[in-house]
Each structure stands twice: as C-alpha cells, then as structure tokens.
C-alpha cells in the first residue's frame, strides 16, 4: 500500500485566516440496545456473581482438615477456570475489544483469538475445490453424528481427520467452514485453517478487495489455557510457517493458483491468542487467487474424452469416507442447552436422594423443567427469560442457606447456579432469538 499524494487544492486548502474549530456537538450512539441483549447482559453479570459466591463457599471448605478438602479445592479450580474466568472475559471484552476488523479473530468468550494471515479471491466452490486438491479435509460441523464420532475416536484412540474445530468469530459470526490435516493420526496435532466470507462491499484497510479471509495455525499439543486454565489445544507460535505450509500445499495441488502479497500489512509483532499461546508473525498478508486456477483445471477436464469421477468424489473415496446422512446435518441447539438438560437431570436425581423432598414434589419439578427446556429448544424467548428468573431466585436462596454451613444447601445451589450460567450464554440467547424481529430501546 502506498500513500497517494492528493492534487494541490482538492481537499485541504491553505487557509487565509487562522483555522477555527466549528462543529456541532452531538452524542454518537455506538450501538442500538436490543431488549433481549439487555436482559441477557443482566443475567450474564448475575451469573458471574453467583459463580464467584459459590466458588468462595467451596474454597472455604477446601481448608486442610475439612471434610473432603482436596476435592473441594479441585472443584474450586474447575469453577473458576471453566465458569468464572470465561464469563468475566466475555463481559469485559464486550466493552474494550473493538467489533471492527483489526486483523484478529475473537473466541466465543470475546478474547482476541488467532490472527488473520491469509486472504483469497474466488467463490466458495472454488475454495473447496482447491483445498481438496491440496489434500486437506473439511472439518465436520458439530452434530449428533459427529459428536458421537469424536467420542468413539477419543475412547478407541482412532484417527478422525475431519473432526470439528472450535469456533472463532470474525465480522460478528463464526467461520463459514474449516479445513484440517491430522498429523500421524494424532488428534492432538493437526494443521487447520478457518475461512470467513467477507461482507458485501467490504474492503481491507487501504481499499483492497478480497472475497475470503482465513486464519491458519498448527495445533502442536494439548495443554492448559493461560487465561482460563481450561484444557485446550496449544498452537505453535510461528504462525507464518503454517501460513506458508498451507500455500505450498495449495500450489502443489493447483499450480495455476496465483499468489500475491500485501507486504507489511501489519507491523511484525508477537502476542497471545485466546488460549494464551504465544504467536509471532512478520505481518505480511498473502492473497491467493484461486478462481483462475479452478477454471483452468475445469477447462482441461472438459477436454478429456473419457468419463471420470469429479475430484471431490475421488478425494472422498481415497479417504475412505462415507457420506454423512442428511439427518445428521440438521442444526442442533448449542451445547450449553444440552448441558442444561444434564443439570436438570442431575438435580432430579439429587432431589430423590434427599429425604427433604417427596417423590411427588420431585416429579412436579422435573415435569416443569422438561416443559421449559422443550420451549427453549423451540426458541420461545419468554420461557428462556422465565427460567432465568426462577433459577436466579432459587440460587440466591440456596447460597444464603449455605452460609449457615448447611452442606445440602451448597450441593443443591450448584444446580441453579449452573443453569443461570448456561442459559445466560450468548449462544443460547442467539438460539432463542434466531429468526425473530428484535425490539430496541429508544434512546435520544
């Protein structure tokens, strides 16, 4: 990118008098507040308070000499690492992480994720064709079918070269698709790249138009996240090597692909991604034109006299893959809704084990839980809000009882705390709001 010198006296004129600042003062609205956004934000904040309250009560019982003190310490770590820290990151990052393009993706918690280090020009079909010719496997969507395959592969230590990847967000949405290459049949080590279609009319800083942006990284092992303490994949710091490796595999499979580069698009820097892993880059942004390459190959294929399979079919047969049944591709509710179902089931079993509750009361409570959960799965927002209100009241009440050293109260409090935490997540709010017309607060 070069600085274009403007012709003299076109935009900035040489003033004859001393310049005066003349501009009407007005309040700029940075966003329109949706009613259900405000409701979700309130309960998301409340969930952090409830989780921290619960974790402090657990920590109080983790003092050496207390009953099951070691187990309570482990529980304290799990609550802080998997509940409190991620939600705190999400709330704080909503305020300070900009929502416009800065060359970085975001995690579901709102933390800065992997850098954008590739750009492409071409249609989606062109992208799939080139990636398949390069020997990469398209990552499966997370469905009932693929979730079961992950479980089987993990338990039986089988290779799963097209395992689903965790979602990263750009332009306010998750990746359109991802490709990967497993290393030596080891699920802990893999090359992977996520792709996002750029919005209509959007350009890179400097006015450069591209069709796709991508983030390529290499998972070197499994470890603990620096920011949350969660178990996660650890990426190799030198993301430029992964970027260059991806380009080389594409050129090997499709030599007609044209590669340009925006040199020093970013300043060379080192930072950390959403898992706390160090990342280093030279700041260059390669731009690959895959459209011409695919068209050239297609013209060559049409000139062949003998009938043959499409390359996509050949790649699938070569990998020994079987087509995923259509029913497996149906959209599933987010994972946290299934967590809600498990928590409700666990609470019912716990209530049956306690002498304080009769079978009739447990059955009635379980029936109400099932009805509300079904309505949430059916995207009924009023049921979602009603459940959040009820569970918040129950959580506050039980945590208050737990101050009196009542062990049963602390045990029972974990269920509504988990329910409020899960139901206030962004993924659940988006699920119940999908396809609905939003209402906004009127602001001046």
| Chain segment 133-145, per-residue pLDDT in tens | 999 999 988 776 7
pLDDT tens-digit profile of 27-41? 666 555 677 778 888
Lowest-pLDDT range, 94-103, 315-324, 417-426? Answer: 315-324
Q: Which pLDDT tens digit goes with each residue over 42-72?
A: 998 899 999 899 888 888 877 676 667 777 7
Domain spans of the chain, in order of start = 41-95+333-433, 104-289
Secondary structure (H, E, C), 335-401:
HHHHHHHHHHHHHHHHHHHCCCCCHHHHHHHHHHHHHHHHHHHCCCHHHHHHHHHHHHHHHHHHHHH
pLDDT in tens, 67-86: 677 777 887 777 877 777 77
Q: What is the pLDDT of residue 420?
A: 93
Element (DSSP H or E) covering residue 134 = none
DSSP codes, 252-278 = HH-TT-EEEEETTSS--EEEE-TTS-E
Q: Which helix (H) or strand (E) holds 298?
A: helix 291-302
Of 39-48, 237-246, 384-393, which has the strongest mean pLDDT? 384-393
pLDDT category at 387 given cuts 50, 70, 90 is very high
Most confident of 189-203, 209-223, 301-315, 418-432: 189-203
3-state secondary structure of 413: helix
Dist. CA 314–CA 324, nearest whole Å: 16
Left (φ > 0), alpha (ψ -120 to 50) or beta: where does 213 sit? beta
- Rounded to whole angstroms, the Cα distance separating 337 from 426 reads 11
Residue 120 has pLDDT above 90, yes or no: yes
Per-residue pLDDT at 150: 72
**202 pLDDT band (50/70/90 cuts)?**
very high
Region 80-104: mean pLDDT is 75
More confident residue, 398 or 63: 398
Q: Which long-range contacts (CB under 8 A, 24 or more apart) does 429-433 make?
A: 429/36, 429/37, 429/40, 429/384, 430/334, 431/333, 431/334, 431/337, 431/376, 431/379, 432/376, 432/379, 432/380, 432/381, 432/384, 433/36, 433/379, 433/381
Give yes or no for residue 310 having a pLDDT over 60. no
């Amino acid at each position: 990118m070069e600085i274009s010198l403007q012709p003299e006296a076109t935009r900035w004129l040489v003033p004859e008098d001393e310049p005066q600042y003349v501009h009407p003062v007005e309040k700029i609205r940075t966003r329109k507040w949706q009613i259900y956004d405000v409701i979700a934000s309130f309960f998301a904040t409340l969930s952090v308070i409830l989780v921290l309250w619960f974790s402090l009560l657990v920590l109080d019982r983790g003092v050496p000499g207390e009953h099951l003190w070691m187990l309570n310490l482990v529980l304290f770590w799990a609550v802080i690492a998997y509940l409190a820290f991620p939600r705190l990151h999400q709330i704080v990052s909503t305020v300070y992480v900009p929502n416009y393009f800065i060359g970085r993706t975001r995690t579901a918690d709102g933390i800065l994720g992997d850098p954008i280090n590739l750009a492409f020009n071409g249609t989606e079909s062109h992208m799939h064709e080139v990636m398949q010719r390069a020997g990469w496997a398209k990552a499966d969507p997370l469905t009932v079918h693929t979730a079961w395959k992950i479980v089987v592969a993990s338990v039986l230590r089988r290779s799963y070269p097209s395992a689903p990847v965790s979602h990263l967000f750009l332009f306010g949405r998750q990746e359109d698709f991802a490709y990967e290459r497993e290393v030596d049949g080891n699920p802990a080590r893999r090359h992977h790249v996520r792709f996002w279609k750029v919005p209509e009319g959007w350009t890179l800083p400097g006015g450069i138009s591209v069709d796709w942006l991508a983030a390529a990284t290499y998972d070197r092992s499994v470890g603990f996240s620096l920011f949350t303490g969660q178990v996660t994949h650890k990426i190799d710091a030198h993301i430029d090597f992964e970027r260059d490796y991806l380009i080389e595999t594409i050129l090997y499979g499709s030599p007609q692909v044209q590669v340009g580069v925006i040199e020093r698009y970013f300043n060379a820097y080192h930072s950390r991604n959403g898992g706390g892993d160090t990342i280093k880059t030279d700041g260059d942004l390669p731009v690959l034109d895959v459209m011409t390459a695919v068209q050239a190959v297609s013209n060559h294929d049409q000139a062949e006299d003998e009938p043959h399979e499409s390359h996509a079919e050949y790649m699938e047969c070569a990998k020994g893959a079987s087509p995923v049944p259509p029913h497996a591709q149906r959209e599933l509710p987010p994972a946290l809704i299934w967590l809600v179902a498990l928590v409700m089931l666990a609470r019912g079993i716990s209530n049956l084990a306690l002498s304080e509750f009769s079978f009739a009361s447990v059955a009635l409570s379980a029936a109400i839980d099932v009805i509300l959960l079904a309505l949430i799965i059916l995207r009924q927002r009023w049921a979602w809000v009603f459940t959040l209100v009820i569970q918040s009241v129950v959580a506050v009440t039980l945590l208050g009882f737990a101050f009196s050293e009542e062990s049963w109260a602390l045990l029972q409090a974990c269920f509504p705390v988990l329910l409020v935490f899960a139901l206030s997540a962004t993924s659940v709010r988006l699920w119940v709001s999908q396809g609905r017309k939003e209402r906004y607060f009127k602001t001046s």
